Structure 1
Amino acid sequence: MSETSARVAVIGSGIAGASVAFGLVSRDVAVTVFDDAMAGQATAASAGIIAPWVSTSTGAYYETYAAGGNFYPEFLDRLSALGIPELGYRRSGALVVNEDPTFLAEAAHLIRDRIAAAGAVAGEANECDSANLRELFPPIAADMSGLFISGGGRVDGRTLRDAVLTGAKAYGAGLVADTARTITAGTSGTWSVGTTSAVEDFDAIVIAGGARSSEILERLGHTVAITAQRGQLIHLGLHGANTSPWPTLHPLDHHYITPFDGGRVVIGATREDGVGFDVRTTAAGQKQVLDDALRIAPGLAEATILETRVGVRPMSTRPSGLPYAGAVPGAPGLWLASGFGAGGLTMGPLIGDGLAAAILGQEAPAIAHLGL
């Protein structure tokens, strides 16, 4: 499809769907986004960390993750240019910590190489002693060693998603707050989407339904390797603490700590496979999150528990672990953007922009390796 007069439906308004929609409407394509705000959207629950260089991922997944981080300044500039006041992003640094100095030193070697390759967007890396660590992140345990990466950032998933959708609407995108109850293939690659109140016709359709994307595609006769993974996060409140400049905290493990403004600190997250779309807060999940956080930051012990958020991540289970972004084989006009896992807020804007270009028949090297 190369005509900018075409109409495209996007199913899902998480970071994947919102980014695809924004990429399309900014290229003068008419877009309608369908989403029923069902509980469990991963983007809405996420406390995003934009610091791919400190992740434990490797290979092609890491390269995609890092490319997403490199694209962030440009993406944020596009949103800011539209006059959107709040993007939910702050560049406050990332602090990698561990109680084993040898283990940290081994990780630091790789991190420094990655930072050098990324350039200015990643900033600089500096070693921290215990006094430095307490200055940067006061609740931290006394026995930790650390490496501070100045280019690390954090983003509130809900705020960023809303900003991207606001940007898409500024370009003329429509947003339908309803379930796409029917998706039907027409002739010559056209599609129709039915809701409780109407049926609309489109020239192409993008499935960006997060962990439900595989279920949607199955109804259309197609199979992808995407499964659901539950993540529980706890929001803590530190009365009187200026948490705004605190960096994100990374213990080289599955969990993290993400400070926000106003004394709010997010700790998490669980990675629970095999529970489907069960979005309950569980006692075991809460215990794991609290135990993990207090082990590395015991100074959070007296914080107030403000709320728990639960999201269901769309995990790609194909051998490469790479997300999906491309045309669905054998179904003209049908596209997929999903399977981002825990890296959605970092990779989503880049992949969404790349998929928008691909839908219009343009070169999209950023997603060339993510096809179905």
Structure 2
Amino acid sequence: MNITIIGGGLAGASIGYHLVKMGHTVTIYDREDKGQATFASAGIVCPWISQRRNKKWYRLVTASARYYPDFIRTLESETDMSTGYKNSGAICLFKPDIFDKATKRISDKAIGHPEVGQVRQLTREELSELHPSLTTKYPALIVEGGGQVRGLKLLQAIKTAFIKHGGHWKQESYEGSDDDSFKIYTTGAWGSEQDYQPKIAHQRAEIMHFKLLNQKTVQSPVVMALGPTYIVHLEDDNYVIGTTHIDTDSFDTSPTEESRAYLTEELYKYFKPEDVEITKMGVGLKPYTRDYLPFIGYADKNTFIVNGMGSTGLTASPFVGLEVAKLINNQQTELDLNDYSYIEPQT
């Protein structure tokens, strides 16, 4: 097939990568809009700690996390590029009154799923050894299967492999909407520009970059702090803390003082002010659809939509790319993708 993909974020690149490896002719168009979610992603791969009860979402993200290590090994061997993927574990912090209950909840998810790894409570000494500057005020456990990846490095590696396998990447707007090619729209927050259902909305997600001044350079695990806050070690003494989730119609990607103040307050819950140096803010626009469940399905016989990935995008995109490629190639998918196609295709 001749396939056109509109949108060169992680979802579009991953779909294109898998399709060209199956022998299809694929062209990806990417405008490189400022605010693409990939560029402001912290890169956490640890879906098992989520308290979301949507079973369709959970099946998707856990299958995606299981696929990740093999996908990364293949991609890095094909490109000789680093994606920043590390299976360094995830530290989870809790309030004392729910700590034991949370430990059991996460431990139960590891039963029969070896990719989760060991789930165990940490002593204060163990926590300080893993992350020396992090507060020991809150009880902590570690999920050893947790990992992280650098969103931008991952996208660059997928793009390189896609082109290496014969794909065509055009850094321009797609203008051929009336042609007869099979089209896949992976336009993220800019999905609102298309007339297809489902309706796409987006949130403004801001993250704060900072340095730890008094911690030796050791690879620290991802930290899932209280509420929606996370802390991720990038490299050397560079870290990020995030994130905000603000519904918006705007595509402005300028950092706000309100978000900076909020994230500064969050930062000082977990580190001493004298131990950190705030360096910059990052802004991404994360798309979502009904029930915050990604949409994966046909709009009509020649048009396919993948959107609404939101904060799920970095974890799910490689696996979604494989599943969509299988579906288009008339192969059996691991998941029932009808679960994610909740509109009737136009005839």
Is the shorter-chain TM-score for this pair beyond 0.5, marking a shared fold?
Answer: yes
Q: Which residue of 1 aligns with 2:246?
A: 272
TM-superposed deviation, 1:206: 0.5
What secondary structure sits across from 2:78 in the alignment?
Answer: coil
Amino acid at match of 1:271: H
TM-superposed deviation, 1:127: 0.6
Is 1:352 aligned with 2:321? yes
What secondary structure sits across from 1:167 in the alignment?
Answer: helix
Q: Tell me if the contact between 2:103 and 2:120 (Cα under 8 Å) persists in the aligned partners.
A: no
The whole-number CA distance in structure 2 between the counterparts of 1:96 and 1:83 is 33
What secondary structure sits across from 1:39 in the alignment?
Answer: coil
Deviations 1:231-286 (A, max 9, x none): 00111123474444201111241110001211111111110112432211000011
Is 1:123 aligned with 2:117? yes
Moved more, 235-244 or 281-290: 235-244
The whole-number CA distance in structure 1 between the counterparts of 2:165 and 2:240 is 33
- C-alpha distance 368-300 of structure 1, shift in aligned 2 (>3 A): farther
What secondary structure sits across from 1:270 in the alignment?
Answer: coil
Amino acid at match of 1:89: Y
Q: How does 1:1-372 map to 2 (within 5 A)?
A: 6-60=1-55, 61-98=57-94, 100-119=95-114, 121-184=115-178, 186=179, 190=180, 202=181, 204-216=182-194, 218=195, 222-239=196-213, 241-295=215-269, 297-299=270-272, 301-316=274-289, 318-319=290-291, 321-328=292-299, 331-366=300-335, 367-372=337-342
Deviations 1:278-310 (A, max 9, x none): 211000011111212221x12365322222211
Amino acid at match of 2:320: I
TM-score, scaled to structure 2:
0.93
Q: Which residue of 1 aligns with 2:345?
A: none
Q: Tell me if the contact between 2:203 and 2:248 (Cα under 8 Å) persists in the aligned partners.
A: yes
The whole-number CA distance in structure 1 between the counterparts of 2:273 and 2:151 is 23
Deviations 1:325-366 (A, max 9, x none): 1211xx221001111111111011111110111112222232
Identical amino acids, percent of aligned pairs: 28
Cα root mean square deviation, aligned: 1.7
Q: Tell me if the contact between 1:130 and 1:144 (Cα under 8 Å) persists in the aligned partners.
A: no
Q: Tell me if the contact between 1:55 and 1:252 (Cα under 8 Å) persists in the aligned partners.
A: no
What secondary structure sits across from 1:212 in the alignment?
Answer: helix
Q: Tell me if the contact between 1:244 and 1:260 (Cα under 8 Å) persists in the aligned partners.
A: no
TM-superposed deviation, 1:50: 0.5
- C-alpha distance 166-240 of structure 1, shift in aligned 2 (>3 A): farther
The whole-number CA distance in structure 2 between the counterparts of 1:247 and 1:227 is 32
Amino acid at match of 2:332: E
Amino acid at match of 2:314: L
- C-alpha distance 225-275 of structure 1, shift in aligned 2 (>3 A): closer
TM-score, scaled to structure 1:
0.87
Q: Tell me if the contact between 2:45 and 2:149 (Cα under 8 Å) persists in the aligned partners.
A: yes
User: Where does structure 1 differ by over 3 angstroms across 4 or more consecutive aligned residues?
Assistant: 239-244, 299-302
Amino acid at match of 2:322: D
**How many residues of Structure 1 are paired with residues of Structure 2 in the alignment?**
340
